[in-house]
Structure 1
Amino acid sequence: MRGPDGPGPQPRPDGPLDGFDVDGPGREALDWLYRFVTAIELAPAVAVHSVDAGGIIRFWNHACAQLFGIPASRALGRPFREIVSHLERQAEFDDTIAGIWHDGVAPAPRDWKVQTAGGRRLWLHSNHFPVKRNGAAQQVFCMEVDITARKQAEDKLMQAARVFQNAHEAMIVMDAEYRVQMVNGAFTAITGFDAADIVGSTLASLPWGEDETGFYESIWSQLDGNDHWQGEMPAVRKNGERYTSWVALTTICDPHGQASSYMAMMSDITERKRVEEQVRHQAEHDPLTGLPNRTLFLDRMHQALATWRRQRDSFAVLFLDLDRFKSINDNNGHQAGDAVLREVAARLRGCVRRVDTISRLGGDEFVVLLADIGGADQAAHVAASVMQAISHPIDVGGQVLGLSVSIGIAICPTDGQDVDTLMHHADVAMYHAKHNGRNSFRFFSPEINARVVERGELEQGLRQALDNGEFLLEYQPGLDVGSGRVIGVEALIRWHHPQRGLLLPHEFLPVAEECGLIVPIGEWVLDEACRQVRSWRGEGHEVTLAVNLSDGQFLHDELFDTVDAALGRSGLDPAFLHLEITEGALMQGDGGLDGTVAALRARGVQLAVDRFGTGMASLSSLRRFPLSKLKIDRSFVNDIEHDPDDAALIPAIIAVARSLRLRVVAEGVETGEQLRFLREHGCDEYQGFYAAGASSRPDFGLTPR
């Protein structure tokens, strides 16, 4: 029992030790019971109490006083129901105690939710058992363990499990090795993958995220430093459908601060991204044409300026204004005007690259940002393409409308190094174009403008030169190094310009390459040269013909037709035609280049590599093709007498040619010393001014007819 003066067994007539004979043989047993009761009294974690048949408390240990907040002096002798009520299960508790008294059998341990007289709510794990004497129950002992904290933890776990399973976001729990331990229903709903598909896999093998090297390592490095990472990730559902997810990864640490597991939360933000993109597109694009509006265009301008400051990549701004557009609106209505603007936008898209930006500023004004241009010529080329595209008639509701455009061009950095300056200068240049007759383009810089105008005039002249018969050919002889005999001629084109006189190839062929005229001009050269050499050979001059092919000609789809037509019309034996190609053409060609070379050689045509040593051809590429000649560039020949290094390269080139069974031709021979050097090292043929000086007849007896 517990007395008023402190813990300790205090036998009472109605106590659990009542009836024992303390003076008889049971004295030793009684002493043992006293010690047992003392131990129960002092048990710190187990509340022990007993009640008699009327439910009156007969024993109340120290742990009971602590748990229920009532000392033994106030508990003993009172009904247990006054101190503790069993919430929602009082009747069940009463029946349990009554069953013990009736049957004398201890029931199985149970958990009870109770409320003390002081209002505290507790969870107790209870064991009830009878204390018998002479076979009949005298008292019922109760041993209670406070499991409130455990129950609260269980409730929290159950609540967390319900949250885990019912959350709208997909949740993934991983161990310290990033292996998935469990996923919730939302994960399956979003991804289509069941838990069986995922559990046991590592995070890197999950069907979301990129395959880029270092992607997951980047996430882990941030987790290690911050215990958290979040961001957008592309993802793939089980059915292969792609979507965008928002993922948050969190490190879960043990009590020692070490990472014990990880949790990932994922949500499908595809629709949100679509809406955001739609809103952003509407905010940054013209509703009529779908082109970027002023806001987006100025942002691209700032990006281009930032790139220029880092990398010094020039860019151009083209300011466009449709000529007499107001009359279209006035005469045909605004619906027709809108249709014209949409068609202009579509045509502009076809004139620029994907890296460029077209914007409608408003009304009939457009502006184009050409990123990373090679120079003013490229901007002029785009401007000319735009003018040509817009000049085509536009059919609006069955009515054909004509249109033209005036364009002003400003180039960064020469015409400005900030947005406002460049836009203003392009606008000014556009007004100059409009005031000078419309349907034209102008550069802001007078110097560049003059040069581009000159190039445009040159291009226009080239387009007329073929029809007007303004081209002519001159023939440079090729001599045998040993005998000095003329064994071949090379056809060289000249342009007899109506205003500028005789122009050499370097003055107009680059323009012909850029504007696409090199192919028809090359066809004329080949046709005319074959006819002339066939005529000479008919007169007894045993010479071969060399014709230079540009890279564009050599790689053009119609090369075979051109060669066949020239040989067929002239009657020249293919064996006497030497087509000279550059090292660049050999290196640029794709897998079909082998077939091109083989087809030409099958026709009997000879192939030579022109200006060898200035390009990127390798020995392996030379071995790959059945060539016949190799021509040493004049730059090496010029330095024979002045640069020992260049002079030393010539014997090496000749040795390479010999190993490949190629004849060697030296270009640009101007002195006897150069010829002597070439003869000593086994060169086969030469060309140059010295050949003309060595002959008594500058035309070598060959007069073009």
Structure 2
Amino acid sequence: MGAEGDASDDRDAAGLAALEVLYRFVAAVEVTPDVAVHSSDRNGIVRYWNRACHLLFGVPACDAVGRPLASLVAHPEREAEFAAVIDSVWRTGKAPLARDWCVRLPDGSERWVYSSHFPVSRGGQTRQVLCMEIDITGRKIDEQVLLHAGANFRQLFERSTDAIVLVRGREIVDVNPAALQLFRCDGNDAMVGRSLLDFSPPVQPSGEASMVRDAALAARTFSDGNQRYEWMYQSGAGESFWAEVLLTSVAVDHQHLAFAVIRDISLRKATERTLTMAAQVFENCRDAILILDSSYRVVAVNRAFSDVTGYAPEGVIGQEMPSLRAGLHEPAFHQQIRDHVDAHGHWEGEVFSARRGGEVFPVWAALTAIHDSANRITSYMAILSDITDRKQVEEQTRHLAEHDFLTDLPNRVLFLDRLQQALATARRQHTRVAVMFLDLDRFKAINDTYGHQAGDIVLKEVAARLVRCVRGVDTVSRQGGDEFVVILADIGGADQAAHVAGSVMQAVSQPMTVGQRQVTLSASIGISICPSDGDDVDTLLKHADVAMYHAKQNGRNAFQFFSPEMNAHVVERVQMENKLRQALENREFLLEYQPEIDITSGRTIGVEALIRWRHPQRGILRPDQFIPVAEACGLMLAIGEWVLREACARARAWRDQGCPVVVAVNLSSVQFTHDKLLDCVDDALASAGLAPQFLDLEITEGMIQTGDAATIATVNALRQRGVLLTVDDFGTGYSSLSTLRRYSLTKLKIDRSFVDDITRNPADAAIIPAIIAVARSLKLRVIAEGVETAEQLHFLQQHGCDEYQGHYAGMASINPDLGITRRHP
């Protein structure tokens, strides 16, 4: 995880807007030249000290923060009174009235300041007291001159730039030109004879009635001699403005009057509101905020900075940022950020910071330059957002996006990236990389037999075993289903890849417990090696897949290296698949019918529908030349449905011609286990108008040898419809007599391999009578296929076989007159 300069896309518009507001608040506090702003905690320790404080009191922030305020600013002969004012803020959480204070500075000099105090709250509790002070020393001198002017009062009155209003009781008796200008009145008549209350709103912003508050202030003035306060007025034009009022009792021309010196402080009050809000934002912001001087030394930090980093303010004020001291990034990187901020005013990006205990953590940093009125950079504001949790969420999200949800192995996305990296390294270092494509043999049977939950357990166990078979630099990935791919990086050659493949096969073949059962698996593995079998991702994966396909074709439970001959075979297979799809659309399939002859009478009592493909280039193709491809690519259902419909339609046509024969149709295992088999049979019979007893469905011994409930239900449903059922290729499987007895079958078909050598091989000759005996015990008819000679037919007749078919009987498609009695020698 590294730094990302100017990566502003990671913050949304709302975040940027909040950042801008915060910047303006903090900048207002920091660069306001005539308002000294400082804050103290409950113990009177200074927590914030802006640049104006340095100018007013002569103490820089690095020396002020962390020290008691009383050691920096004294209130001669009025310390107790000042302490009481501060205590009232902590007790009530309310701001007292602003007032004048004489303060003694650390150098011993004294100044007059006008002070306003405000509570800074967080979570409903006062956390700090913020003080804003304005130097009024010069103003105090002017006021004293005015009070002691005597005979020169009128001259000062007329020439003063401050608004002065003379009041007798509550009645205005005279105003100076500055007052007329402030209240926007055209002449003395507009003010003289009226009251200052006439120029006040009924209620002050504090909520107190103006008349009540004015009476209280006037009473204190005549008792104390003078009173300073802030007041909201309305000018003759109806505009409101804030004013600072100095109300003083004075004798003029032997008359007891009061004069009010009124100064417009609307701008200052707006600044105070901004500063108060800034202090609240600064204190309550959940992100760490630092104010840095022009040399990038820390001037102030907020509470969140201490919470996030563990550093107390006094531990960092006047110092470099902790992350800079920790050296988490190169100095050149920090200089690059500074140059960018000086040029553009702002930088943000992801960097590392350090906690007090030394822990390094990621932050999103925003650094902004703060300018004065002359557009000079006076300081900087840094905002640090701890993004540890966000990074963890991002890492988890990235992990989920790049890993298989079931096995937690790298998925295809991460696998491809790893393979690209491995190939790039191999090119640079002239080494080899092997890709192993692994597929579990007959995994579907586990899902079908034990359920998908058991299948998931098996996949997770296989994944764990694969990881244990390879090195840390290798990658094991699940591509989906029961397919895994392994990257063997920097291998010595084919021998090392073969060794790993052997280890994998042995590990996979170890029995595993699934629930209460033990499951044994095997795997077929294809291997391609870079650079001999390709040097890019797609080629290596394709060739490994081709090799795995050949491993399966050659009996499974083996590994196979890629060769060009394999690829040619696969290309031919793909072409065959495409042609098969076209064959369905172009009606290129046809059926030939082989007679099934009753041995006793010699009559044709049935036909077996045999599919042929009229290939546009290769001519007529037999089933063994294209059916395996059709089964592998998922076309067998469509082809089988076409055969079923076509055969039923032909059988109906022959029946209408006076030749009522049974048509036998071979079902593939895919058709037999499909949940729409019964609907397809019903539709074919209904469409052709064929009675069910004229349809004979041939299934292999392997389809029924499991004897499970679903198979039994399917057989029973077909037999209940009246459809005949024949077990094809009988004798080549492992069906037991008890298994066969569970099914309602029609007949058994003796496989041609036993018929071929019955006249030469006594062992085969002995099997046929045994099969016939089994059929008799089950009350099933027996048909033998592949009969080609008179000797074979004679043997079958001697042992009681019921029917036969083969070249000796001929093909019905050649001689469609199925009503002709076929005589055999």
Q: Determine whether 1:93 maps to 2:237.
A: no
Query: Is the contact made by 1:208 and 1:233 (CA closer than 8 Å) also made in structure 2?
Result: no
**Distance in 2 between residues matched to 1:33 and 1:350, nearest whole Å:** 104
Query: Is the contact made by 1:393 and 1:402 (CA closer than 8 Å) also made in structure 2?
Result: yes
In the other structure, the counterpart of 1:404 is 522
Q: Determine whether 1:319 maps to 2:440.
A: no
Q: Determine whether 1:127 maps to 2:242.
A: no
Q: Provide Cα deviations, 1:412-435, integer angstroms capped at 9, x if missing partner.
A: 454345443332222111112222
Query: Is the contact made by 1:127 and 1:144 (CA closer than 8 Å) also made in structure 2?
Result: yes
Q: Determine whether 1:65 maps to 2:183.
A: no
In the other structure, the counterpart of 1:187 is 305
**Distance in 1 between residues matched to 2:428 and 2:262, nearest whole Å:** 78
| Residue among 363, 368, 372 paired with 2:481 | 363
Q: Determine whether 1:113 maps to 2:228.
A: no
Q: How many residues align?
A: 413
Structure-2 change in CA distance of 1:92 and 1:211 (3 Å): same
In the other structure, the counterpart of 1:428 is 546
Query: Is the contact made by 1:84 and 1:117 (CA closer than 8 Å) also made in structure 2?
Result: no
| Residue among 26, 34, 49 paired with 2:165 | 49
Structure-2 change in CA distance of 1:197 and 1:381 (3 Å): farther
Structure-2 change in CA distance of 1:114 and 1:83 (3 Å): closer
Give the counterpart letter for 1:392 in structure 2: Q
Q: Provide Cα deviations, 1:70-125, integer angstroms capped at 9, x if missing partner.
A: 1224223333322344823443333433555x55x631433323333433232222
Greater relative contact order structure (CA < 8 Å, 6+ sep): 2
**Distance in 1 between residues matched to 2:322 and 2:310, nearest whole Å:** 18
Query: Is the contact made by 1:177 and 1:202 (CA closer than 8 Å) also made in structure 2?
Result: no
Moved more, 360-369 or 316-325: 316-325
**Distance in 1 between residues matched to 2:400 and 2:541, nearest whole Å:** 24
Q: Secondary structure at the match of 1:56?
A: strand
In the other structure, the counterpart of 1:263 is 381
Q: Provide Cα deviations, 1:34-67, integer angstroms capped at 9, x if missing partner.
A: 98645543444x1122223351342231x22322
In the other structure, the counterpart of 2:465 is 347
In the other structure, the counterpart of 1:383 is 501
Moved more, 77-86 or 182-191: 77-86
Structure-2 change in CA distance of 1:223 and 1:215 (3 Å): same
**Distance in 2 between residues matched to 1:95 and 1:214, nearest whole Å:** 65
Deviation of the 1:226 alpha carbon: 3.8
In the other structure, the counterpart of 1:550 is none
Give the counterpart letter for 1:94 in structure 2: A
**Distance in 2 between residues matched to 1:54 and 1:247, nearest whole Å:** 59
Q: Secondary structure at the match of 2:470?
A: coil
Q: Provide Cα deviations, 1:3-27, integer angstroms capped at 9, x if missing partner.
A: xxxxxxxxxxxxxxxxxxxxxxxxx
Q: Determine whether 1:156 maps to 2:156.
A: no
In the other structure, the counterpart of 2:390 is 272
**Distance in 2 between residues matched to 1:184 and 1:314, nearest whole Å:** 57
Deviation of the 1:343 alpha carbon: 1.5
Q: Provide Cα deviations, 1:153-198, integer angstroms capped at 9, x if missing partner.
A: 1221111011010112222222222222222222233333332333
Q: Secondary structure at the match of 1:289?
A: coil
| Residue among 145, 163, 167 paired with 2:263 | 145
Structure-2 change in CA distance of 1:234 and 1:352 (3 Å): farther
**Distance in 1 between residues matched to 2:397 and 2:343, nearest whole Å:** 36
Q: Provide Cα deviations, 1:579-624, integer angstroms capped at 9, x if missing partner.
A: xxxxxxxxxxxxxxxxxxxxxxxxxxxxxxxxxxxxxxxxxxxxxx
**Distance in 2 between residues matched to 1:133 and 1:50, nearest whole Å:** 10
Q: Secondary structure at the match of 2:280?
A: helix
Q: Determine whether 1:198 maps to 2:304.
A: no
Query: Is the contact made by 1:297 and 1:359 (CA closer than 8 Å) also made in structure 2?
Result: yes
**Distance in 1 between residues matched to 2:327 and 2:465, nearest whole Å:** 39
Query: Is the contact made by 1:322 and 1:365 (CA closer than 8 Å) also made in structure 2?
Result: yes
Structure-2 change in CA distance of 1:434 and 1:244 (3 Å): same
Q: Provide Cα deviations, 1:354-376, integer angstroms capped at 9, x if missing partner.
A: 34332111221001233455555
Q: Secondary structure at the match of 2:503?
A: helix
Structure-2 change in CA distance of 1:268 and 1:351 (3 Å): same
Moved more, 151-160 or 292-301: 292-301
Q: Summarize the alignment of residues 466-505 of structure 1 with structure 2, pairs less than 5 Å apart.
A: none
Structure-2 change in CA distance of 1:121 and 1:370 (3 Å): farther
Deviation of the 1:321 alpha carbon: 0.9
Deviation of the 1:303 alpha carbon: 4.8
Structure-2 change in CA distance of 1:154 and 1:275 (3 Å): same
| Residue among 390, 415, 434 paired with 1:297 | 415
- Provide structure 1 residue ranges, at least 5 long, that are not aligned to the other structure: 1-31, 450-705
Q: Provide Cα deviations, 1:247-298, integer angstroms capped at 9, x if missing partner.
A: 2222323344443222222233333333333333333322221112223323
Q: Provide Cα deviations, 1:358-398, integer angstroms capped at 9, x if missing partner.
A: 21112210012334555555544433432343333334446
In the other structure, the counterpart of 1:625 is none
TM-score by length of 1: 0.52
Structure-2 change in CA distance of 1:343 and 1:213 (3 Å): farther
Q: Provide Cα deviations, 1:535-565, integer angstroms capped at 9, x if missing partner.
A: xxxxxxxxxxxxxxxxxxxxxxxxxxxxxxx
Q: Determine whether 1:286 maps to 2:286.
A: no
**Distance in 2 between residues matched to 1:180 and 1:251, nearest whole Å:** 14
Structure-2 change in CA distance of 1:415 and 1:145 (3 Å): same
**Distance in 1 between residues matched to 2:510 and 2:331, nearest whole Å:** 50
- Provide structure 2 residue ranges, at least 5 long, that are not aligned to the other structure: 1-148, 568-825
Give the counterpart letter for 1:440 in structure 2: A
Q: Determine whether 1:254 maps to 2:254.
A: no
| Residue among 191, 196, 209 paired with 1:75 | 191
Q: Secondary structure at the match of 2:226?
A: coil
Deviation of the 1:236 alpha carbon: 5.0
Q: Provide Cα deviations, 1:335-362, integer angstroms capped at 9, x if missing partner.
A: 3332221121112212333343321112
**Distance in 1 between residues matched to 2:488 and 2:342, nearest whole Å:** 45
TM-score by length of 2: 0.45
| Residue among 452, 456, 474 paired with 1:334 | 452
**Distance in 1 between residues matched to 2:244 and 2:198, nearest whole Å:** 20
Give the counterpart letter for 1:295 in structure 2: V
Moved more, 112-121 or 200-209: 200-209
Q: Secondary structure at the match of 1:82?
A: helix
**Distance in 2 between residues matched to 1:349 and 1:42, nearest whole Å:** 95
Q: Secondary structure at the match of 1:426?
A: helix
**Distance in 2 between residues matched to 1:380 and 1:306, nearest whole Å:** 23
In the other structure, the counterpart of 1:642 is none
**Distance in 2 between residues matched to 1:214 and 1:381, nearest whole Å:** 50
Query: Is the contact made by 2:546 and 2:566 (CA closer than 8 Å) also made in structure 1?
Result: no
Q: Secondary structure at the match of 1:122?
A: strand
**Distance in 1 between residues matched to 2:473 and 2:343, nearest whole Å:** 38
What is the identity percentage for the equivalent residue pairs of Structure 1 and Structure 2? 49
Give the counterpart letter for 1:49 in structure 2: V
| Residue among 150, 165, 170 paired with 2:283 | 165
Give the counterpart letter for 1:191 in structure 2: T
Query: Is the contact made by 1:57 and 1:80 (CA closer than 8 Å) also made in structure 2?
Result: no
Query: Is the contact made by 2:367 and 2:382 (CA closer than 8 Å) also made in structure 1?
Result: yes
Moved more, 340-349 or 275-284: 275-284
**Distance in 2 between residues matched to 1:438 and 1:221, nearest whole Å:** 66
